[in-house]
Structure 1
Amino acid sequence: MINARPPNWRNPRPPARYRFLVIGGGPAGLMAARTAAAMGARVALVEAHLIGGISANNGCVPSKTLIRTAQAYAMMREAERYGARGPSEITVDFRAAMARVQRIRERLVRVDSPERLTAAGIDLYFGHAHFIGPDAIDVDGIELRFSKALIATGSRALLPNIDGLDEAGFLNNETVFDLEALPTSLLVVGGGPLGCELAQAFARFGTRTLISHREPLFLPSEERDAAQMVSDALARDGVEIHLNSQPTRVRVQDGRKHVDLLNEGNTATTVVEQILTGIGRLPAVDGLCLGAAGIEYDAIAGIGVDDFLRTSNSHVYAAGDVCLKFRFTNTAEASARIVVHNALLFGRRRLSALTVPWCTHTDPQVAHVGLYVKEARERNLPVKTFTVPMHNVDRSITDGAEDGFVKIHVREGTDQILGATIVGRGAAEMINVVSLAMVAGVGLCRLATVIHAYPTQGEAVRQAAQACADTLVSPLLAGIRRWWLKARDDPQAEHDAPRH
């Protein structure tokens, strides 16, 4: 990963004080540093490992690249379903798939290479940073002072407490993309987005794949029918599903991992070549010496911030995974823009004003924005939901992708969009239309007037909008319309209409 960290890099000589200092070179840190430098501020960016952070090096970029290759193999196997003749024999070249991951990872990291960051006016330091005062940090012996600072150190993998796991060895999102050979068998621990995505991908490559999840359904934050569709899809792809189940012990025998799975008081043992943990992430706060700067934090929740993303030290802000509940790349970048505006331009932009969509990239995808029904009811907001199954959408039928739905929640009696969940092959793109409407303050009924290209899966959003528009027609107006149209067909009806 030369583009992410040149081997012979020499840190610059620091000035007396930086106007804006950023700790962490992931999505939030890069966005903040570039934006602040473009404004004309003297900016320092400190990164302990690789430019690009988890997202570019060990997260979204490599995982979505691998998922796309796995999807290609799945479509080859299903060729007859599409009226095509598939290859007589499908040989998986996992080494080629991983080589593609590496190429794409290098290509995208190149956009934020150290040379380009330096050319943009950013002083780049590689090394471990820790606070030595309220307005100063140390980077491997170099003291950097600042007027304002941003902590954007991201998050690290949360490891399950399983007896013998460390001794047996395991994979996580930071190591799985370094595999050189396809595992013959794999146990995925955790049924969240990462676990579901990679379990499906490895099953499609031909690995005997098991997934263990301690709750009764995958994707516990999502709506139940959406999570059930993902569970059904994993089962169709051959994933062996263990719900209400958790590994309790791992031991190695004859080079293979023997894992005890506890389910409702009963223990069963499965034997696999590899174990992949994907139970979540923790904020990366270790080693920062936050107390030296008067910054309050929690090891689980991360750095405490207010709605303006200020920490308990008014000169220091935080953004991204290190302080936010929703740990997504788009949220990290959006929060970084808020910080730059508030820290350098004395702004008052609020985190709570953001509308953030997200997506789990299984097949079908699960995308969401805004409130869930449960959340709306907890806020005493009356909700009406409009649902369109994807099997009612022409493009979904032609594509053979009928699993899924569009579900849009509005405040009852109005067309104000409160939230939406979309399940389907194009859900990640379709959710953006709803997100745009929410940000722009456009009601759902207005989307019924938008003409979509035909045939597209986005037509499902328009159908939901039309259903909303139909329900908001008052009984009086509907009666007048019926009378008017009947009168046009029957002149006597108009003559007999009551006079006022």
Structure 2
Amino acid sequence: MTAAPDLVILGAGTTALAAAERAAELGARVVVIEQAVPGGTCINWGCIPSKTLIHKAALYHAARRGAAAGLNLTPGPVDCAALMAAKQQAIDRVRQERCDRLLNEHPAIRLVRGHGRLRAPGEVQVGPEILRSDHILIACGGLPRHLDLPGMHTVAALNSYSVLNLPAIPRSLLIVGGGVIALEIGQMLQRFGCQVTLLERGDRPLAEFDPRLTGPLCALLAAEGLRQHFGVEVRQVAAEGEGVAVAAMINGHPLRLTAERLMLAVGTVPATAGLGLEAVGVACDRQGFVVIDAECRTSVPGIWAAGDVTGPPLLAPAGELEGRVAVENMFAGRHCTVDHHGTPMAVFIDPEIALVGQTAAQAGAAGHEVAEAYLDLAAVAKAHVVGAPTGALLLWADRHDGRLLGGQILAPRAADLIHELALAVRACLTVSELADSVHVYPTISDGWRLAARRLLADCPELRGRA
């Protein structure tokens, strides 16, 4: 492909790949610019490696849990080298299938290695090469946020990338943060034999989830030995011996904690350094994320942006959607908009926790009169089959027309089970339609039907509304 490209994409992660593939389907010639490893955070340093290790930790933990059922398995010490090899194998296979084949074999897509910089609207420089195109997509993702705390320069703090490449499991770890990454990594390392302590600034983890779910979750994590502190303000960090010491205030009281390693899990910053956004006038918000409208257009005509570089929801599937929307608006003559109302999200802890749509508070603020159902997971037969009855399902619907508005679930395989409700929300199904759907028995997913039946029992006026 030697002709001038129809589209230049900065980045080669999940968002960029989805955009490049759709643009090629629409007949566009695409150049993808990447200075690091193609595949981006999700494939190389995020979703795939972390979930691979989380799965191995679950297997290791299951060996100990089986003793209560007469399965007398004795787990030996963790072979970290073998763990890292299994993780790398998963990365390589996913990268080959989802990334390399598209970038290396598609005749309409060319990969250019190097750092891309906007010189002017319609111009991107990569080393000595200057690419000109009427369509530019910024899809360079984000990076782990760092905290510039007093003494931080004295310790080698881990982040969400480096913690997945440890040569050995540390004896103990302090994690600053209480969000998705902190909980996923925290439980995984706790199960591998590391004593993990979470230090969260808020009053509970995962603020986007209902406390009726996060409360039992915290109790389950505590039962595994994971220590949790909330209302924490970290004041200072210092190297101490072969480890690290953290000075903090917890609900107004001083506390000093020590561990072998320290990890920061405090969010994401956009990877926009050196892109030349200021030079061409691309507007960013106060946190540095690129500002876009509902069609993924930036403040500069001809320049679009999508994915983590634009800020929340900071989910790989959301970035894919935004990338495709941007391309549709560029080349299909459409005015597609991004609507994440039906975009599910999940946390890969055990049990998993997931959500989609609006909460009762969000739906009420949007003008809905909300009906709610809460179903304890103990009411679902499969939960007892798998020995995991701690959890719950929450369901919200419009009280007037019965339309499903959203839901949350704490249960085994919740990340898979949330898709049933995501489809129901997207398709504007009603409580009655979900309650009348036939589910395989016994399954955890049957909990959605039972929750819908509970909602109809509490609000019989919703019966039959469709």
Relative to the length of structure 1, the TM-score reads 0.89
Rg: which structure is higher?
Answer: 1
Residue 85 (structure 2) pairs with residue 99 (structure 1)? yes
Q: Report SS of the residue matched to 1:313.
A: coil
Q: How does 1:447-486 map to 2 (within 5 A)?
A: 447-470=434-457, 473-474=460-461
CA separation of 1:88/1:71 partners in 2, compared to 1, >3 Å: closer, same or farther?
closer
Residue 240 (structure 2) pairs with residue 253 (structure 1)? yes
Question: 373-382 or 107-116: which moved more?
Answer: 107-116
Give ranges in structure 2 of 5+ residues lacking alignment: none
Contact 2:318–2:340 (Cα < 8 Å) also in 1: no
2:362 aligned residue (375, 378, 384): 375
CA separation of 1:301/1:461 partners in 2, compared to 1, >3 Å: closer, same or farther?
farther
Q: Report SS of the residue matched to 1:325.
A: coil
Contact 1:114–1:124 (Cα < 8 Å) also in 2: no
Letter in 2 for 1:92: V
- Aligned residue-pair number: 463
The Cα RMSD (Å) is 1.9
Measure, in 2, the Cα distance between the counterparts of 1:353 and 1:71.
31
Measure, in 2, the Cα distance between the counterparts of 1:334 and 1:354.
12
Q: Which residue of structure 2 lines up, in the alignment, with residue 118 of structure 1?
A: 104
Which string of whole-angstrom CA distances, capped at 9 and with x for unpartnered residues, describes residues 21-71 of structure 1?
Answer: 111111000010111112221110011211111111111111111111111
Residue 61 (structure 2) pairs with residue 68 (structure 1)? no
Contact 2:375–2:454 (Cα < 8 Å) also in 1: no
Q: Report SS of the residue matched to 1:78.
A: helix
Contact 2:26–2:332 (Cα < 8 Å) also in 1: no
Contact 1:366–1:422 (Cα < 8 Å) also in 2: yes
Measure, in 2, the Cα distance between the counterparts of 1:458 and 1:208.
34
Q: Report SS of the residue matched to 2:111.
A: strand
Letter in 2 for 1:61: I
Contact 1:65–1:101 (Cα < 8 Å) also in 2: yes
1:233 aligned residue (209, 220, 225): 220
Q: Which residue of structure 2 lines up, in the alignment, with residue 298 of structure 1?
A: 285
Q: How does 1:383-422 map to 2 (within 5 A)?
A: 383-422=370-409
Q: Report SS of the residue matched to 1:466.
A: helix
Relative to the length of structure 2, the TM-score reads 0.95
Q: Which residue of structure 2 lines up, in the alignment, with residue 187 of structure 1?
A: 174
Contact 1:415–1:468 (Cα < 8 Å) also in 2: no
Deviation for aligned residue 1:100: 1.0
Residue 298 (structure 2) pairs with residue 311 (structure 1)? yes
Which string of whole-angstrom CA distances, capped at 9 and with x for unpartnered residues, describes residues 441-485 of structure 1?
Answer: 2212111222111111011001122233445545999xxxxxxxx
Question: 165-174 or 248-257: which moved more?
Answer: 248-257
Q: Report SS of the residue matched to 1:271.
A: strand
Residue 261 (structure 2) pairs with residue 274 (structure 1)? yes
Deviation for aligned residue 1:264: 2.8
Residue 129 (structure 2) pairs with residue 129 (structure 1)? no
CA separation of 1:167/1:112 partners in 2, compared to 1, >3 Å: closer, same or farther?
same
Q: Which residue of structure 2 lines up, in the alignment, with residue 90 of structure 1?
A: 76
Letter in 1 for 2:396: H
Measure, in 2, the Cα distance between the counterparts of 1:434 and 1:359.
13
Contact 1:135–1:293 (Cα < 8 Å) also in 2: no
Contact 1:411–1:418 (Cα < 8 Å) also in 2: yes
CA separation of 1:378/1:473 partners in 2, compared to 1, >3 Å: closer, same or farther?
closer
Q: Which residue of structure 2 lines up, in the alignment, with residue 440 of structure 1?
A: 427
Give ranges in structure 1 of 5+ residues lacking alignment: 1-11, 478-500
Q: How does 1:350-361 map to 2 (within 5 A)?
A: 350-352=337-339, 355-361=342-348
Contact 1:256–1:271 (Cα < 8 Å) also in 2: yes
Contact 2:26–2:331 (Cα < 8 Å) also in 1: no
- Identity among equivalent positions (%) equals 27
Contact 1:416–1:444 (Cα < 8 Å) also in 2: yes
Measure, in 2, the Cα distance between the counterparts of 1:228 and 1:295.
42
CA separation of 1:474/1:357 partners in 2, compared to 1, >3 Å: closer, same or farther?
closer
Q: Which residue of structure 2 lines up, in the alignment, with residue 483 of structure 1?
A: none
Contact 2:371–2:455 (Cα < 8 Å) also in 1: no
Q: Which residue of structure 1 lines up, in the alignment, with residue 313 of structure 2?
A: 326
